[in-house]
C-alpha cells in the first residue's frame, strides 16, 4: 500500500542502487559515470536514467553540469533528513559515529516532543501512547514484539506533540531506532530500557507535566546513549 507504484520499477531500482552507491562511497575515487555510461550499465533508456538522476539531485546527493557530467555533492549538501538518504546510510553504511550523532539529536528532539505532548496531546494521542505502553508490557511477557512496541511508543509521542516538524522525524526515528536496537542487541545481548521506564514518561505526559516529561524522556534516551557509547568503536 505504501510501496512504490511499480514494485519493480526500473527507475526506482536505479535510484536505490545509485543512492546506496553514493552514500557508501562507491564513487569516491572514480569519476561518476556519464549519463550514457549509466544507460549502458543498467541497460535502460536515456530518459529513465535522467529521471533517476533528477531524483538524486532532488535529495542533494549529486549535481550535474554540461561538460562536467554528474558529480557527487559534498556530504554536507546531502539531505540527511530525507528518509531515503538516512535509511541508505543506516542500513548500508552504518557507523558508530552516525549512530552517536543521531542519538544526540534524539535527546533534544524527543525530549522536546515529550514536553509538547504533555501540553497538547489529544485524547486520541494519549490513547496511542497508552496502547504502546501496553504493548511494551506485553512484549516483556513475550506476547508482543519488543522492537515494534518500543518504536510505536516513540512515534506516538512525536505524533502527540502536534508539531509537524517533530512529526516529520517519525520515519527517520523509527528507521534509526530499528537499526540501533538491532545493533546494540547483537553486540551486547538484549538489554534495553524497560516498559516501566517508558511508562514513567507516558504517565507524565498524560498528567500534563511538561517539564517533568521532558526530563524523564531525556533520561530515557540518555540511557540508550550510554549503552551505545559502551559499544566497541571500530570504524
Q: Which residues bind DNA (CB under 7 A)?
A: 5-12, 34-36, 43-48, 50-51, 53, 64-70
72 binds, among a second copy, DNA, none (CB under 5 to 8 A by kind): none
164 binds, among a second copy, DNA, none (CB under 5 to 8 A by kind): a second copy
Asked if residues 82 and 59 have their Cβ atoms less than 8 Å apart, the reply is yes
- Can residue 13 be called a binding residue for a second copy (CB under 8 A)? no
Question: Which part of the chain contacts a second copy (CB under 8 A), choosing from 20-28, 33-41, 52-60, 201-209?
Answer: 52-60
* Choice from 8, 28, 66, 191 touching a second copy (CB under 8 A): 66
Looking at the Cβ atoms of 17 and 35, the one nearer to DNA is 35
* Choice from 62, 116, 121, 157 touching a second copy (CB under 8 A): 116
Beta bridge partners of 65: 69
Output the smallest distance, CB 138 to a second copy, in A.
28
Cell reading at 211: 517539564
Binding site for a second copy (CB under 8 A): 5, 11, 47, 50-52, 54-59, 63-66, 75-76, 79-84, 98, 101-102, 104-105, 107-109, 111-112, 116, 163-168
Amino acid at each position: 500500500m505504501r510501496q512504490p507504484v511499480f514494485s519493480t520499477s526500473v527507475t526506482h531500482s536505479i535510484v536505490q542502487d545509485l543512492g546506496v552507491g553514493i552514500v557508501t562511497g562507491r564513487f569516491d575515487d572514480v569519476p561518476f559515470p556519464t549519463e550514457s555510461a549509466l544507460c549502458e550499465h543498467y541497460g535502460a533508456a536515456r530518459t529513465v536514467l535522467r529521471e533517476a538522476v533528477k531524483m538524486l539531485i532532488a535529495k542533494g546527493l549529486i549535481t550535474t553540469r554540461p561538460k562536467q557530467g554528474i558529480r557527487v555533492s559534498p556530504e554536507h549538501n546531502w539531505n540527511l533528513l530525507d528518509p531515503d538518504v538516512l535509511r541508505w546510510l543506516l542500513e548500508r553504511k552504518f557507523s558508530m559515529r552516525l549512530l552517536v550523532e543521531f542519538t544526540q539529536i534524539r535527546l533534544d528532539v524527543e525530549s522536546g516532543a515529550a514536553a509538547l505532548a504533555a501540553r497538547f496531546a489529544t485524547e486520541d494521542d494519549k490513547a496511542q501512547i497508552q496502547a504502546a505502553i501496553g504493548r511494551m508490557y506485553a512484549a516483556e511477557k513475550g506476547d508482543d514484539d519488543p522492537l515494534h512496541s518500543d518504536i510505536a511508543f516513540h512515534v506516538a509521542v512525536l505524533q502527540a506533540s502536534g508539531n509537524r516538524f517533530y512529526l516529520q522525524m517519525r520515519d527517520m526515528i523509527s528507521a534509526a531506532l530499528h537499526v540501533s536496537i538491532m545493533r546494540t542487541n547483537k553486540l551486547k545481548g538484549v538489554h534495553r530500557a524497560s516498559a516501566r521506564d517508558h511508562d514513567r514518561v507516558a504517565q507524565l505526559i498524560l498528567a500534563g507535566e511538561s517539564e517533568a516529561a521532558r526530563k524523564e524522556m531525556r533520561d530515557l534516551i540518555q540511557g540508550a546513549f550510554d549503552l551505545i557509547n559502551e559499544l566497541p568503536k571500530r570504524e
